[in-house]
A and B are shown apart, each in its own frame.
Chain A
Amino acid sequence: MKRLIPLLALGLSACGNYSNEDLDFQLALPQDGELEAKLPQAISVSDSAEYYVITRKVVTEFNAIARALVGLVDKVRGISPTSRKGSQRIWGPWDDDRHPGWQIRVLMDRVDNPGVPSGFNISYNVQVRSTQIAGAEFADFMAGSYAPSGNARRGQGEQHLYIQNMRDIGYPVEDFDQLVQLDLCYQTEQYPMVVHMFAQNQDTAKERQITYDYEEAADGSGTLYFDITTDRTLSSFDLRFISRWLGSGAGRADAYAVNRNDLLAGTDCWGPDTRATLSWRIDEGAKNSHESSLCAFAEPTDLEAPTCGPGSGQR
């Protein structure tokens, strides 16, 4: 025992975050901007194509959600784990500055997984608990996982935001309006990279479900599938919006009424300057016969998004 005392003293005197293993945990977290859609021409002019303007608006919303999700876990990247237990890292718990009476902690676990090139997955949980209730357990506010590929920066991951769970335990989630749960999955190990978001709102919401699927190719071209499932009242219809663009900025978007047998409701094509090269709406009758020469893309033949995770294909 006496021989251990000097070692113990040295151990207690040592401190820091100097760790190679921590890198695996930090690299598992998506970076700011990594999951965002990249629209080549992030501009609009007074006569930009209408569907281009809608595409840009949806991309902005998509990116805002992606940033918010990444931001929830990004803070732990910059600080040392509070404790390390084998393959687990724990940050916190800390008092929630925005919501007195609540504590937050982040758990990250490295789990062996022979089925992936890296041989392991990283799972993480952002949890909260009330300090006002004796013995209150931590509940998941967010859960995520990441399976790196052979490259530390490339892999597949998913995140889930459990807003209704938070409502149920009384955690303030007023910022999330009528959201019940938000699911996100992504794969960045090869092109086309894919990011899928699925938002489930409360039954009282007019827009019950919103789905974003984003594909990004190596040449800068991209596709955004945007679906809104509504309350299906007479005045509303479910919308599927498929927008595609080239690295040059030229693109095409098609809108479908899903609960009208996927009826094509409109098409806009635009050039690199975002101005419409073709614009057609269902009430205009037959489409322009020169569509193929005016548009960067042909009409979609497959309306299903090559997506991942929960909510895929839900309409």
Chain B
Amino acid sequence: MKQRRPLAVRAGPLLGLALAIMLSPASGATQRRFALLAGNDRGGPDTRPLLYASQDARRLHAVLTQLGGVSSGDAELLINRSAGDFLRALAKIEARIVEAQRRGERTMLIVYYSGHAKDGELRLGDTRVGFADLRARLVASPADIRVGIFDSCRSGLITRSKGARHAPAFEIEASGSEETRGLVLLTSASADEDAQESDEIGGSYFSQYLVSGLRGDADRSRDRRVTLSEAYAYAYARTVAETAESTAGAQHPTFSFDLKGNADLVLSDLGSRREGLYIPTPAPAGIYYLVDANGFIAAEVMKPADGDRQIALPPGKYHVRRRLADRLRIGELRVSEGQVTVLDEARLKDAPFSDDPVKGGRREPGIEVTLSLGGTMQAFFDAPTRDSLFPPTGLFAGEVQIRNFFRRGWMWGLDLAAGKASGQVTRLETPFPFRFSEFTAGTTMAAEWALFDRSLYPYVGVRLAYLLLNRTFDDPTIPAQYFSTFSPGLVVGLRYTLWSDFSVLGRGRLHYLLYNIDGNRSLGYWELTAGLAYDF
């Protein structure tokens, strides 16, 4: 299981790392890199939804395709997909690896997973993949080099295997000149630890620091290339330090490998993209957070007092933040295409902690989409209207709810409903039976709250509906009638998560309808809905 921690405490020693593995794609034959990255916010029964697992996968995907030598066509990103999808995608990539090898290309496969894990299995929604099975799959994979990175609770289980070495920091004696082949596994936590994610950094600790390291902050050798061991050492040190005083306890990433041969294993080449940020030596020491336009931390930079730092960033606008004991230093900068922006300390300004640009933005959970289907009962309050004009109607209703689209905690709904009923209008004591049909389309904007460990979601909002009402009389001499109009209303709803991605919902609506055919009449109607919802 992976746990969320709202606030990280920075403490603990920075572990020294000895660089050993230097496996470079540039040496020897051409190396083609493939990547499969999966992020699952939901882990099925007995787990609480994660906020940042899918975002972790997206960020690592961005780094690998921007700096990691993985072409976008060779990178597969799976967000909230099933185990079946994961294994099928892996098989598809392996088939392409075999094709590449037939052409004489050397190959590397990077498999990354961020999400829940429990009882020795990765939890991809309601589906599972066993650690042992996945490890065996990677061992048997045709790629020359296989790198597995697992950011989940007790992910260290996958590194417990005969023949693999396991250490917080590692050193490999380089010898020989043969091409490197084998398996490397990185995990975010040891076999008995929870992996933690944090609102403070807007992601899981391990993945966040791995990404920051690959963007350049882990480049201790200053050769503009971040090797696997540099990235791991950086992520290890930062993760242990930041989680040391957390209530869940320190989280220790693990590393194991089974490699033959000797070459540099460079995970990101900072020289492959010219854009980035340069923090010169005179700039104050400390941790600089670079927050992208979406409010997510794109990278962290640990600036030493006696040295400079450069990290690769995609073009765009960034907020920069450095935290002092009593205030923040914040500012904005733009990274332009093909240019390295130099941080000018003079352009940062003091700000209280309440102006932290990271607040809100980076804590935003991603957009969530829910499809609900249900039955709706609708009736007008006015008895004469109900009896002879618009009879009570049962409708089959469907709604797509999009959460956090406009802002966090807001739900935007688009709904359709259709239904039929029978009615009768009496004129001069003569009954005229009719068949009534209704079609509605509506849009809802509601504020939603997550209660009881995100299992109960009440919401209140407003809705604007378009109604098309028809009736056809049994008497064929009377022509069919219709009425269409827009109708504003209020919505109150409740969604309760039954299991994993499924929930039950109840919803009530109160609507106003201006009927203007037989004179202007202000009418009101109510709707009650019960249904099932599925979260995509």
CB within 8 Å of B: which residues of A? 6-7, 9-11, 13-24, 26-27, 31-32, 77-79, 84, 118, 148-153
CA distance A79 to B482 in the complex (A): 11
Is the CB of B514 closer than 8 A to any CB of chain A? yes
Contact partner, A23, options B425, B469, B483, B514, Cβ 8 Å: B425
Which residue in A13, A148, A153 is a CB contact (below 8 Å) of B485? A13
Q: Is the CB of B482 within 8 A of A18?
A: yes
Interfacial chain B residues near A20, Cβ < 8 Å: 388-389, 425, 427, 518
- A-contacting 9-mer, from B134-142, B165-173, B473-481: B473-481
Chain A residues positioned under 8 Å from B478 (CB to CB)? 23, 26-27, 77
A16 near B389: Cβ-Cβ < 8 Å: no
Contacts A10-B486, A14-B484, A16-B483 hold; do A151 and B389 have CB atoms under 8 A apart? no
Q: List 17 A-B contacts (CB under 8 A).
A: A10-B486, A10-B488, A11-B516, A16-B469, A16-B484, A17-B479, A17-B481, A17-B482, A17-B483, A18-B469, A18-B517, A22-B518, A23-B425, A24-B428, A77-B478, A151-B428, A152-B432
B520 at interface, CB cutoff 8 A: yes
Most buried by A among B425, B430, B482, B517: B517
Partner of B479, one of A6, A9, A10, A78: A78
Indicate whether B499 reaches chain A with its CB closer than 8 angstroms.
no
Does B178 lie at the interface of the complex (its beta carbon under 8 Å from any beta carbon of A)? no
Q: How far is the CA of A78 from the CA of B477 in the complex (A)?
A: 9
- Which of the four size classes fits the interface of chain B? 20 to 34
Majority secondary structure of chain B interface residues (helix, strand, loop or mixed): strand
The 4 closest A-B pairs by CB, nearest first: A18-B483, A16-B483, A14-B485, A152-B430
Whether A84 lies near B477 (C-beta < 8 A) is no
Give per-residue flags for B486-521: 1 if the beta carbon is below 8 A from chain A beta carbons, else 0.
111000000000000000000000000011111010
List B contacts of A84 (CB < 8 A). 517-518
Distance in angstroms from A233 CB to nearest chain B CB is 46
Residues of A contacting B303 in the complex (Cβ-Cβ under 8 angstroms): none
Find B427's partner among A13, A16, A24 (CB 8 Å cutoff). Answer: A24
Hey, which chain A residues are within 8 Å of B516, CB to CB? Answer: 11, 14
Choose among A13, A17, A78, A118 the residue that contacts B486 (Cβ–Cβ < 8 A).
A13
CB distance from B466 to the nearest CB of A (A): 8
A19 with B481: in contact, given A150-B428, A150-B429 (CB under 8 Å)? Answer: yes
Distance of B243 from chain A, by nearest CB (Å): 54
Give the distance to chain B from A117, nearest Cβ to Cβ, in Å: 8
Are A23's CB and B484's CB within 8 A? no
Once the chains are docked, how many angstroms separate the CA of A147 from the CA of B184?
A: 95
Establish whether residues A118 and B484, one from each chain, have CB atoms under 8 Å apart when the complex forms. no
Across the interface, which residues of B come within 8 angstroms of A149, CB to CB?
428
Asked if B430 and A16 sit within 8 Å, CB to CB, the answer is: no
Query: When the two chains form the complex, which single residue of A10, A14, A79, A152 contacts B483, counting CB atoms closer than 8 Å?
Result: A14
CB of B471 closer than 8 Å to a CB of A: yes
Distance, CA A31 to CA B471, complexed state (A): 20
Contact status of A151 and B477, CB under 8 A, knowing A16-B484, A18-B471: no
Q: Which residues of B contact A31 (CB under 8 A)?
A: 477
Question: Within the complex, what minimum Cβ distance (angstroms) separates B245 from chain A?
Answer: 56
Closest beta carbon of chain A to B105's beta carbon, Å? 63
> How far does the alpha carbon of A282 sit from the alpha carbon of B431 in the complex, in Å?
54
Q: How far is the CA of A150 from the CA of B429 in the complex (A)?
A: 7
Q: How far is the CA of A134 from the CA of B520 in the complex (A)?
A: 35
List the A residue with the shortest CB-CB distance to B429: A150
CA distance A213 to B210 in the complex (A): 102
CB distance from B486 to the nearest CB of A (A): 5
